[in-house]
Amino acid sequence: MPILAILIVISFVFYFYLKVKYVRSKRPIERKWISAKSSISLGAFVLFFGINQWFIYATTTSLIIGIIFALFGLGSIITGIRAYRYYLPLATKEAQTSL
């Protein structure tokens, strides 16, 4: 499915972009906030990759591996969203105090 391949590439590009942004950031809370966003992107990459495995290879082994990848990706997305929600107000406050 070409849509899954596009989503895989987009999520990896976002992950790479956010990691570069993480390295360039100087504020500690902002770095944790960016790291949470990159965790969401990496989780999406792994999730889409796992789902893509279901459609490309029709074997039992690829189905099991795809399910494992999808579960790890979903877990990473959920953890990243929780961290994002936690660090967002702190990062906003840090940005306002540094002005």
Q: Hey, where are the domains in the chain?
A: 2-97
With the C-alpha atoms ordered 37, 43, 46, 50, is the resulting torsion angle positive or negative? Answer: negative
With cut-offs at 50, 70 and 90, classify the pLDDT of residue 68.
very high
pTM of the model as a whole? 0.90
Is the model's pLDDT at 83 over the cut of 90? Answer: yes
What pLDDT does 28 receive? 93
Quote the CA–CA distance of 39 and 76 in Å, as a whole number: 6
What pLDDT does 8 receive? 95
What pLDDT does 80 receive? 97
Q: Write out pLDDT tens, residues 8-67.
A: 999 999 999 999 999 999 999 999 999 999 999 999 999 999 999 888 887 888 889 999
Is the model's pLDDT at 98 over the cut of 80? Answer: no
The first and second tokens of residue 17, run together, are 């972009």
Please give the radius of gyration of the chain, using alpha carbons only, rounded to the nearest integer. 16
What pLDDT does 88 receive? 95
Instruction: Look up tokens 């929780």; give the residue.
Output: 82
Instruction: Look up tokens 């976002």; give the residue.
Output: 14
